[in-house]
Structure 1
Amino acid sequence: MALRLFLPLLLLLAATLLITQAQGIGSSASDCCLKHSKKDIPTGVVASYRLQGPESGCFLRAVVFTTKKNKKICASPSSDAVQKLMRQLDKKAKNAKSRAQTQRPRSRPKKQRRERV
């Protein structure tokens, strides 16, 4: 008797799990590039980049550039222009980091003494 009640509940649970996996609910791969852009990427508009591939849950290997207006551009990681742009962004980030480390913390300016005349 209990088996008659338990079996439909078990089937319902299994069907729910299959549907949620098929829809990709709970996966981090919802923001994957599906193809590479064929247009040249202007260097002045790009703010950062990230790599995408099977290790991030995506089928296509790509470099995802983020523009200053927060738009995403997918590019081929094997392209020479893309490699050059990645090196430029890495260099810019490294320079900004080293500048931040070498700057002294700002303090209040010292009061100047008034000269008596």
Structure 2
Amino acid sequence: MPKSPLSRATWALTVIAAGALLVGCSGSVSVGSSDPKLSKAKLADTVAAKLASTTGQPKPDITCPEDLVGKVGTTTRCKLTASDGSTLGVTVKVSSVDGKQINFDIKADETPTPAQS
């Protein structure tokens, strides 16, 4: 039985997920407050830029629900949304903190969630 072709957006999400999992993305950001914290907007932009550079794809649409606190082991879940509405979860985990610099790892889920009708 022939399989239906993947949509272009789903294919892009699959490539991003595979690239992020194989390469093992990580990021690093310096913040200016006494308690290291990265705003959700800056986190989303940093994750999108890192995924784009790692996969060679255009910068994806990423949203993050909360600021990232600079404490080793802290995690948050961001969401990558493709043009067709399908999504891919992205886990961000703080790996180390050096003064005001937060270092974190990025891992995309293996399977995208189809767009809701």
TM-score scaled to structure 2, two decimals?
Answer: 0.25
The structure with the greater share of residues assigned to strand is 2
| Structure possessing the higher radius of gyration over alpha carbons | 1
The structure with the greater share of residues assigned to helix is 1
Structure with the bigger RCO (C-alpha within 8 Å, sep 6+) is 2
TM-score scaled to structure 1, two decimals?
Answer: 0.25
